[in-house]
């Protein structure tokens, strides 16, 4: 009994000292609680559908950030992982009758495979070369999809998949939890030793190699992890839409991911998630001006970038929090002394 209370007390202390002291962490907490409790207040199927798709795309954008933001492997063809996994999930579900809990992770292995297929030839490429080469992979695959209509369904795609779950609320919880858990896991990885190595590869690959790190292995790992997570989102998408079609491979899809992620703020994982949670529902709000929807969207992105070239979330974070010059801990902007080492904040 006392053990339980001790643990609870410890958790409470961590909660008070690590979460409640920073506005950004409180915001994340509120966001998570809000998402989890939403169905208690409304079960409107339209709102739930929007949030399901938003969560799926948020995971996709976060997985892009893991590869392109953290590791610096600028990927312009992220739709490839998404599309390959959507198609594999659909085929597994339809022909082998594997239910969603099996077909999504197995389908995501298709995403991993795609990650390797792209990653290996692209190991020697950098910057713009890498970006422009990756862009062409989904287009090549699109050609293949049209070449084998018996398997892929051509322009029609593969339809008639099983539902993700029996109810809309079930779909909602599955996609929201997938997004939250996997994004949190990614965030944890980027915070670990591996994360530091990935970060180092982005900043200076040559120096990294000189330090005795097998950068090839880490780069390929980043491709695979990103491919797997994008694959999970692709598989979930296929089961929610009950269709995997060529639109999952379109260039517009790849571009969309980049816009979401960079708008929200790269190299943070939570930035891209926030980006999707702002931009995707925004498109729905803009339905009152149907013709000008995309134009408003594009202009909004352009103007936001002018003032916040690092993205929206890092900009806000830097406004409300400061980094301690001595111990690098984050503090509320209103504090005059660091909460950890008591150094004077400027």
Which positions touch other proteins (CB under 8 A)? 44-46, 49-50, 53, 74, 121, 124-126, 128-129, 131-133, 135-136, 139-140, 142-144, 146-147, 149, 153-157, 159-160, 204-206, 241-243, 245-247, 251-252, 255, 258-259, 262-263, 266, 283-284, 287, 290-295, 297-299, 301-302, 305-306, 309-311
- Dihedral, CA of residue 144, residue 146, residue 151 and residue 156, to nearest 10: 140
**Cβ 153 to other proteins, closest distance in Å?**
6
Query: What is the CB neighbour count within 10 angstroms for residue 141?
Result: 21
Nearer to other proteins, 256 or 331 (CB): 256
**Cβ 186 to other proteins, closest distance in Å?**
18
Nearer to other proteins, 259 or 278 (CB): 259
**Cβ 41 to other proteins, closest distance in Å?**
16
Nearer to other proteins, 300 or 329 (CB): 300
User: Using H for helix, E for strand and C for coil, what is the string for 97-109?
Assistant: CCCHHHHHHHHHH
**Cβ 338 to other proteins, closest distance in Å?**
29
Distance between CA atoms of residues 275 and 190, nearest Å = 19
**Cβ 5 to other proteins, closest distance in Å?**
47
**Cβ 228 to other proteins, closest distance in Å?**
22
Nearer to other proteins, 259 or 329 (CB): 259
Nearer to other proteins, 1 or 288 (CB): 288
**Cβ 69 to other proteins, closest distance in Å?**
8
Nearest to 329 by CA among 345, 306, 313: 345
**Cβ 146 to other proteins, closest distance in Å?**
5
Nearer to other proteins, 22 or 223 (CB): 223
Which one-letter DSSP state was computed for residue 242? T
**Cβ 216 to other proteins, closest distance in Å?**
14
* C-alpha 20 chain-centroid distance: 25
Residue 115's alpha-carbon distances to 78, 235, 246, in angstroms, are 10, 15, 19
Distance between CA atoms of residues 65 and 73, nearest Å = 10
Nearer to other proteins, 317 or 345 (CB): 317
Q: Does residue 230 contact residue 179 with C-beta atoms inside 8 Å?
A: no
Distance between CA atoms of residues 135 and 253, nearest Å = 11
What single string gives the DSSP state of each residue in 274-342?
HHHHHHHHHHHHGGGSGGGHHHHHHHHHHHHHHH-TT-HHHHHHHHHEEE-TTT--EEETT-SB-TTT-
Distance between CA atoms of residues 48 and 41, nearest Å = 11
Distance between CA atoms of residues 308 and 274, nearest Å = 15
Nearer to other proteins, 166 or 346 (CB): 166
Nearer to other proteins, 21 or 123 (CB): 123
Distance between CA atoms of residues 233 and 244, nearest Å = 12
């Amino acid at each position: 009994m006392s053990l339980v209370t001790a643990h609870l007390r410890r958790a409470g202390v961590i909660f008070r000292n690590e979460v409640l002291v920073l506005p950004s962490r409180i915001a994340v907490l509120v966001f998570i609680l809000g998402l989890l409790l939403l169905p208690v207040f409304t079960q409107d199927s339209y709102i739930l559908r929007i949030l399901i798709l938003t969560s799926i795309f948020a995971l996709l954008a976060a997985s892009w950030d893991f590869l392109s933001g953290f590791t610096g492997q600028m990927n312009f063809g992220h739709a490839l992982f998404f599309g390959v996994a959507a198609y594999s999930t659909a085929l597994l579900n339809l022909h082998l009758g594997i239910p969603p809990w099996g077909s999504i992770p197995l389908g995501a292995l298709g995403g991993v495979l795609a990650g390797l297929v792209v990653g290996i030839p692209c190991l020697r490429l950098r910057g713009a070369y890498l970006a422009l080469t990756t862009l062409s992979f989904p287009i090549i695959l699109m050609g293949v999809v049209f070449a084998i209509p018996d398997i892929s369904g051509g322009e029609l795609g593969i339809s008639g998949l099983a539902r993700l779950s029996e109810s809309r609320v079930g779909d909602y919880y599955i996609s929201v939890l997938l997004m939250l858990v996997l994004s949190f896991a990614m965030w944890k990885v980027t915070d670990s030793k591996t994360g530091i190595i990935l970060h180092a590869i982005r900043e200076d690959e040559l120096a990294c190699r000189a330090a005795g790190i097998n950068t090839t292995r880490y780069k390929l790992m980043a491709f695979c992890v990103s491919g797997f997570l994008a694959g999970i989102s692709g598989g979930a998408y296929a089961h929610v839409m009950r269709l995997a079609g060529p639109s999952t491979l379109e260039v517009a899809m790849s571009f969309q991911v980049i816009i979401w992620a960079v708008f929200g703020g790269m190299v943070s994982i939570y930035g891209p998630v926030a980006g999707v949670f702002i931009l995707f529902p925004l498109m729905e709000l803009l339905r009152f001006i149907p013709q000008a929807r995309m134009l408003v969207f594009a202009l909004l992105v352009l103007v936001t970038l002018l003032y916040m070239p690092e993205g929206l979330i890092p900009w806000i974070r830097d406004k409300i929090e400061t980094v301690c010059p001595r111990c690098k801990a984050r503090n509320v902007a209103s504090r005059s002394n660091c909460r950890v080492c008591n150094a004077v904040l400027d």
